[in-house]
Amino acid sequence: MKRHNFWIWFFAILSTLFISIILFITYALGINIHNEIRGTFGDMFGAANALFTGLSFVALIVTILLQRKDLKHQQYQLEIQNQSNLIQNFETTFFNMINVHHQIINSLHLEHTIKKDNTEKVVIEKERKVFLYLFGKINNQMNGDGEKFSNIYTNYYMPLNFHLEHYYNNFFQILKYIDESKNINQLLKNRYSMILSSQLSEHEKLMIFYHIIYINDQGNFKRLIEKYNLLDNFNYSFRVPVILAQKYNPGS
């Protein structure tokens, strides 16, 4: 923009200088001629009117060009401001959904009993410990045999599904909101998905993995998790039976 303005002013100054030189030469010649032909030569000063008109035209062109550049600059600044507002609106909703995510986790609680010295004791698992408990319970019952997973998940976990159903739904909605937003580009979508991923504990990711395997999801949940690499950097293969790790087929 500064370079463009330089050439506008350069053209304006050069034109003004050229017209001024012409006027000066005309005036200098006019005062050095005899009186009897000065009247005739005076007609040449009529050309000065055209030169003044040209100078006015140059000034008008310069003004229009400068105003045009100012208008483009204002439009550019307005576009930047509008984009900034769109991102800000997206972030407001996104971080509100993240807050809901944490509220759901904070509200999680699960009661179970343990036997000790022939007596039963009620234990309450809270917040993220619910994921740790459920994952450990499922794995203990499978005892390394992934073929048992479906039955164990159905008979043991599904009756407790109400504990995490809201969690899964909200998590999916956050991913969906990121993916479907038209206010941010793909680079920002990847960045916000990384922020979301950073909110997850190890056992949250493991239970999300089991959830996908169990429901045999070929739809959006699995697709979005793969698209934003939420499990790619997580080595779940050492924490679950081999057959389940093989069953998870990214891109299928």
55 has a pLDDT exceeding 80: no
φ and ψ at 88, to 5 degrees? -65, -40
169 has a pLDDT exceeding 60: yes
Q: Output DSSP code: residue 182.
A: S
Location of structure tokens 């699995």: 222
pLDDT of residue 54: 61
For the chain, give every domain's residue range.
2-83, 108-247
Check residues 104 and 73 and name the one with the higher pLDDT.
104
189 has a pLDDT exceeding 90: yes
Question: Which amino acid, 26?
Answer: T
Question: Which amino acid, 244?
Answer: L
Pairing relationship of beta strands 109-116 and 119-126 according to DSSP bridges: antiparallel
Which residues on neighbouring strands pair with residue 113, listed in sequence order?
A: 122
Contact 138, 153 (CB under 8 A): yes
Confidence at 247, pLDDT banded by 50, 70, 90: low
Which residues on neighbouring strands pair with residue 124, listed in sequence order?
A: 111
pLDDT of residue 48: 53
CB contact set of 203 (below 8 Å; sequence gap of 6+): 128, 131, 132, 135
How do residues 86-131 score in pLDDT, each as one tens digit?
899 999 999 999 999 999 999 998 888 888 777 888 888 899 999 9
Is residue 220 left, alpha or beta, with left meaning phi > 0 and alpha meaning psi from -120 to 50? alpha
pLDDT of residue 4: 52
49 has a pLDDT exceeding 90: no
CA-to-CA distance for 138 and 152, rounded, in angstroms?
7
Both tokens of 244, joined, read 């389940």
